[in-house]
């Protein structure tokens, strides 16, 4: 199983006897890893936006999204704090076999523009065109195209994706999807918006899509676009 990495955003769910901590979700980031200890930034409450300086012994469930788009989680406790330079907490790490991996049902969706080729084949509409995505995830995508392509909900599409990676190379992936929504253009001459969910995509191709989303998220975070 996959332990968190340096720079990984993690969330801590608390459920102790203190009213102020009950059912809270805190957000933090892994600053360093030392053997079986994770050094994390002081967590911030997603509910209040306030810093939560947890005490040693605090029990919590930690979860995060791995590079494959899966959610990983484990139970742990805070074992100490350091106040020099940047205040951090020390959190014990479990053995890898104690980390649980949940089925990938919700995928990281990221706003990104990648080139796709789309094909629709039926008795009347024989469409084959190029488009660019608006957003992308391991579960589907949205793209814009000319209104002359009369796409409708439930249409079955074949989609080829050109996915750039951080090394500057292009990865190719293929998936089949179903149109779940078509939003007409706001004014004449503009493009329509089409949302698609993948109905069939090989795990290797899905992994390429998830990886491209993950790398795009890191790139945007480095540029300060994401927190």
Going by pLDDT thresholds of 50, 70 and 90, the confidence category of residue 106 is: low
- Residue 209 CA to its chain's centroid (Å): 11
Whether domain 9-102 has CATH 3.20.20.480: the reply is: no
Q: What is the pLDDT of residue 19?
A: 42
Q: HEC states along 193-220? A: EEEEEEEEECHHHHHHHHHHHHHHHHHH
Q: Give the DSSP letter string of the chain.
A: -----TT-EEEEEE--S-TTTTTEEEEEEEEEEETTEEEEEPPEETTT--B--PPTT-EEEEEEE-TTS-EEEEEEEEEEEE-SSS-EEEEEPPPGGG-EEE---S---EE---EEEEEEESSS-EEEEEEEEEEEETTEEEEEE-TTS---TT-EEEEEEEEE-TTS-EEEEEEEEEEEEEE--SSTTSPEEEEEEEEEE-HHHHHHHHHHHHHHHHHHHHTTS--
- Give 110-143 pLDDT, tens digit per residue: 889 999 999 998 888 999 999 999 999 988 999 9
Distance CA 151, CA 155 (A): 7
For the stretch 163-197, pLDDT in tens is 987 777 899 999 999 999 999 887 777 899 999 99
Tell me the domain boundaries of the chain. Answer: 9-102, 110-222
Whether this model's pTM surpasses 0.75 = no
Contact partners, residue 225, CB within 8 Å, separation at least 6: none
Write down the CATH superfamily of domain 110-222. Answer: predicted glycosyltransferase like domains (2.40.10.220)
């Amino acid at each position: 199983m996959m332990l968190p990495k340096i720079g990984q955003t993690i969330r801590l769910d608390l459920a102790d006897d203190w009213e102020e901590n009950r059912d809270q979700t805190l957000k933090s980031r892994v600053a360093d890893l030392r053997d079986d200890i994770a050094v994390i930034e002081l967590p911030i409450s997603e509910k209040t936006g306030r810093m939560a300086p947890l005490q040693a012994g605090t029990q919590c469930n930690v979860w995060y999204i791995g590079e494959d788009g899966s959610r990983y989680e484990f139970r742990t406790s805070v074992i100490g704090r350091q106040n020099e330079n940047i205040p951090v907490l020390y959190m014990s790490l479990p053995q890898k076999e104690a980390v649980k991996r949940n089925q990938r049902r919700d995928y990281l969706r990221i706003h990104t523009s990648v080139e796709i080729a789309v094909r629709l084949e039926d008795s009347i509409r024989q469409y084959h065109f190029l488009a660019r995505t608006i957003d992308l995830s391991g579960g589907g995508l949205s793209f814009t195209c000319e209104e002359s392509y009369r796409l409708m909900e439930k249409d079955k599409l074949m989609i080829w994706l050109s996915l750039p990676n951080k090394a500057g190379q292009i990865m190719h992936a293929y998936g089949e999807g179903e149109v779940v929504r078509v939003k007409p253009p706001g004014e004449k001459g503009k493009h329509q918006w089409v949302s698609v969910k993948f109905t069939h995509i090989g795990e290797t191709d899905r992994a390429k899509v998830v990886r491209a989303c993950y790398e795009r998220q890191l790139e945007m975070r480095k540029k300060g676009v994401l927190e």
